[in-house]
């Protein structure tokens, strides 16, 4: 019998890639739970679903609900039985969290409690994945790549709300035996990303010959850096984790049963190098300006870095980021309406 997965935030950037991946790789039924806010766009979901055959399209349903409220019996009935839950819904824009911190507490902490309360009552639930962020660890000094159970050091309300939600997931695993795991990933890119994000912004400005702002240290000589990863690789990693036999793993640090996993791109790129790659793919000359952004903006960090060795030892690795960049740039230029919304 076919499995069913509930994906919260299904119209969001990363989640709609997960939907696309599962439609292509499995026969699972997919229920997305959405409220459609500034970061959700139902057109994303429609765009990927319509690319599949009609019978495959019929495997996707959307239920509208704001997770700041408990899931009432009507919503639960509309969802139906599920085998897996992937909780990706979240407020995720750092700048907005600085301006509206309580909004992020409600979305990311209270919203997570409400989906956990629902999940612990789902009979036969096989796995609950909480999708967290690299930002819970805070800035990474040169040469430091954080492992899954390193100490947290949130530097903005967004990352603090995600770290708080993680602790609730761990508590529900320990208290209610919820079969939960937690993932951290960083700087995901790909098709249909919000145009304010760095990579779509670089694609558009390089195409139009406009100046690209590159965030740097105070000397304006060293650009910020990240381990960029394509959303399809994140989807592949989530599917890998949904099917992985967790009994093969020893308990994490401190004996906690709730395993954590870093989903990391295979190469660290600084933002100037990334902009140059994007311009080169288009055959354009790079026009850029180094700006000391991070030291003047509280809550923003110059470098984030995660250690992906745990997932690699388990047998999962991402595709080369430069190949993924070529795919993304080419697709975006051919579908440039996604640069304008």
User: What gap in Å lies between CA 10 and CA 62, rounded to an integer?
Assistant: 8
323 classed as catalytic: no
Of 34, 134, 252, 301, the active-site residue reads 134
- pLDDT by 10s per residue, the chain, length 341: 799 999 999 999 999 999 999 999 999 999 999 987 766 688 999 999 998 988 889 999 999 999 999 999 999 999 999 999 999 999 877 878 888 999 999 999 999 999 999 999 999 999 999 999 999 999 999 999 999 999 999 989 999 999 999 999 999 999 999 999 999 998 999 999 999 899 999 999 999 999 999 999 889 989 999 999 999 999 999 999 999 999 888 776 555 679 999 999 999 999 999 999 999 999 999 999 999 876 666 666 789 999 999 999 999 999 999 999 999 999 999 999 999 87
Q: Tally helices (H) and strands (E) across the chain.
A: 13, 13
Rounded Cα–Cα distance for residues 275 and 68 (Å): 38
- For tokens 């912004």, the residue is 201
Crossing angle of helices 231-243 and 13-25, in 10° steps, is 60
Strands, E, within the chain: which ranges? Answer: 4-8, 29-34, 60-64, 84-87, 127-133, 180-185, 188-189, 212-215, 225-227, 229-230, 260-263, 268-270, 288-291
Provide the pLDDT for residue 80.
97
Residue 253 DSSP label: G
Residues comprising the chain, all counted: 341
Q: Token match 């903005």: residue?
A: 156
The CA angle 176-128-321, to the nearest 5 degrees, is 145
Catalytic residue among 135, 148, 166, 270: 135
DSSP state, 211?
A: P
Per annotation, catalytic residue among 130, 146, 158, 244: 158
User: Is residue 296 classed as helix, strand or coil in its secondary structure?
Assistant: helix
User: Annotated catalytic, 158?
Assistant: yes
CA 127 to each of CA 5, 37, 59: distance values in angstroms, whole numbers, following the listed order = 10, 27, 20
Between the CA atoms of 291, 295, 298 and 302, what dihedral angle is there, to the nearest 10 degrees? 80
| Global pTM value | 0.95
Number of neighbours of residue 333 by Cβ within 10 angstroms = 14
**What tokens does 134 get?**
């690299």
Active site residue 135: yes
Domains and CATH numbers, the chain: 4-188+227-263 (3.40.50.720), 193-226+267-302+320-339 (3.90.25.10)
């Amino acid at each position: 019998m076919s499995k069913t997965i509930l994906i919260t935030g299904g119209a969001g950037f990363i989640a709609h890639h997960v939907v696309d991946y599962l439609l292509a790789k499995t026969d699972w039924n997919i229920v997305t739970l959405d409220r459609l806010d500034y970061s959700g766009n139902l057109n994303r979901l429609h765009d990927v679903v319509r690319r599949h055959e009609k019978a495959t399209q019929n495997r996707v349903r959307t239920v509208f609900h704001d997770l700041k409220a408990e899931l009432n019996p009507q919503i639960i009935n509309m969802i139906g039985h599920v085998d897996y839950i992937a909780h990706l819904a979240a407020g995720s824009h750092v700048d907005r969290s600085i301006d509206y911190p309580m909004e992020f507490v409600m979305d990311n902490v209270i919203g997570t409690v409400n989906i956990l309360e629902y999940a612990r009552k789902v009979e036969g639930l096989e796995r609950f994945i909480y999708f967290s962020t690299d930002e819970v660890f805070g800035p990474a000094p040169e040469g430091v790549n954080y492992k899954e159970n390193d100490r947290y050091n949130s530097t903005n309300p967004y990352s603090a709300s995600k770290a708080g939600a993680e602790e609730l997931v761990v508590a529900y695993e320990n208290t209610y035996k919820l079969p939960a795991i937690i993932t951290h990933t960083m700087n995901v890119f790909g098709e249909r990303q919000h145009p304010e994000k760095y990579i779509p912004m670089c694609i558009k400005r390089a195409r139009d010959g406009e100046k690209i702002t590159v965030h740097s240290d105070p000397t304006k000589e060293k650009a910020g850096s990240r381990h960029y990863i394509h959303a399809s690789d994140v989807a592949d990693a989530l599917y890998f984790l949904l099917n992985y036999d967790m009994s093969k793993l020893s308990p994490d640090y401190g004996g906690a049963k709730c395993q954590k996993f870093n989903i990391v791109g295979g190469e660290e790129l600084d933002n100037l190098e990334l902009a140059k790659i994007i311009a080169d793919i288009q055959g354009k000359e790079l026009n850029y300006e180094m700006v000391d952004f991070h030291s003047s903006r509280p809550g923003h960090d110059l470098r984030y870095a995660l250690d992906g060795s745990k997932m690699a030892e388990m047998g999962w690795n991402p595709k080369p980021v430069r190949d993924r960049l070529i795919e993304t740039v080419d697709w975006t230029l051919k579908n440039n309406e996604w640069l304008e919304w």
